Structure 1
Amino acid sequence: MLQEFAQEIESTVRAEIENIHTSIPGKIVDFNVNSGTATVKPYGRFKFNGEYKEMPAISEVPVMFPYSNSSGIGIAFPVLAGDDCMLLISEVELDEWRNGAKTIVPLRFDFTSAVAILGLCKIPSQSMQQATKDKAVIISSGPTTLSISEKGLVIKGNVEINGNIKADNI
């Protein structure tokens, strides 16, 4: 009797833990540039009623960029269908953050409160490999690269300047 009770508690706890989501890799299905949100299809499957099912696509997922709203400084790049990302599942719903509204139904660790972090790569890019080798920050777009390292700034590709140049020791 005691062993059955302990087994029932363990089964209940395991079932609840399966409903706690923290992070999962996903693929961008669509990106809305006006709202900064994406529809993302998580990789993997989940267990429901003893059966494994495909993860459904999640809509209106905020996409994270290294950006400061207060200073207006950041990095942005294209978000395209097929890009991989990491979905970070918030411990609390995002309603209050999004629009200041208090959530009526708490949805802890729910997929509807996911944020997409871009840059998840299955295979390291040439820029990643070069940045590691040179201990540099590398920004690349097609054949044009900008490399910042201890050696200085190196630009490969065409350069267009709209504005003044101020420099010492030229």
Structure 2
Amino acid sequence: MSDYSYHNATVESAVDAQTEKAIKDIHTSLPAKVIDFNSTLQTVTLAAQVKQILIDGKTVQIPPLMDVPVNFPRGGGFAVTFPLQAGDEGIAIFSERCIDGWHTSGKATEPLDYRFCDLSDAMFIPGICSRPNTIKGFFTDGLSLQTLDGSTFIRITNGKILIKGEIEQNGGFVSSADVVASGISLTNHVHGGVSSGGSKTSGPQ
């Protein structure tokens, strides 16, 4: 403790000092930036964005967090994926116990090490960001799946889906209602220049 003195130590102050020291070795979560992303293993190398304070008051950068599994929303046979780039922000959370056995096998295992809330057992949730990196022009009227600059998006509001950007479709298209392209109805358009024989019609109107 800051007011702890070797010359007037008591049992209580000694216990308090040891407790404070132990608490400082417990890690719960830290903001972090991506250094490198492995898309095959879906792991990242991270740089913690809050420095560590030493006993003498000096601050040091926490060593890079290696082989950190990334959270991508998934379940029921579906997943939402996106590439991560160096500099992307998020939060690193630290498991209560060693995750090495589970991470390697995908099964429930005994902890392979006795460490608790250790920097070695980080998991990464991308997206939580600092104020300078907030999403510009935040869409508040519904759900938006978009590029950060807003140049391309899929936006869902009550009863409507709006898409901005080129669409490449691989598969059929079924519509229970009319389709209108450049102001021309697929169901109700007409063709001019119709005559018998092998002549072709003019374009739709």
Change (3 A) 1:169 1:104: closer
CA RMSD of aligned residues (A): 2.1
Name the CA distance, whole Å, in 1 between partners of 2:82 and 2:145. 11
Q: Does 1:116 align with 2:118?
A: no
Name the CA distance, whole Å, in 1 between partners of 2:38 and 2:168. 30
Q: Secondary structure at the match of 2:123?
A: strand
Cα offset, 1:32, TM superposition: 1.2
Q: Does 1:40 align with 2:46?
A: yes
Higher helix share: 1
Matched residue, 1:14 = 20
Greater than 4 Å deviation, 4+ residue runs: none
Which amino acid is the alignment partner of residue 109 of structure 1? C
Unaligned runs of 5+ residues in structure 2 are 1-7, 179-205
Matched residue, 2:193 = none
Higher strand share: 1
TM-score by length of 1: 0.87
After TM superposition, the structure 1 stretch with the greater mean CA deviation from structure 2, 160-169 or 45-54, is 45-54
Unaligned runs of 5+ residues in structure 1 are none
Higher Cα radius of gyration: 2
Q: Secondary structure at the match of 1:138?
A: strand
Cα offset, 1:151, TM superposition: 4.1
Q: Secondary structure at the match of 1:64?
A: coil
Name the CA distance, whole Å, in 1 between partners of 2:53 and 2:94. 18
After TM superposition, the structure 1 stretch with the greater mean CA deviation from structure 2, 111-120 or 150-159, is 150-159
| Count of aligned residue pairs for this structure pair | 164
* Contact preservation (8 Å) 1:95, 1:102: no
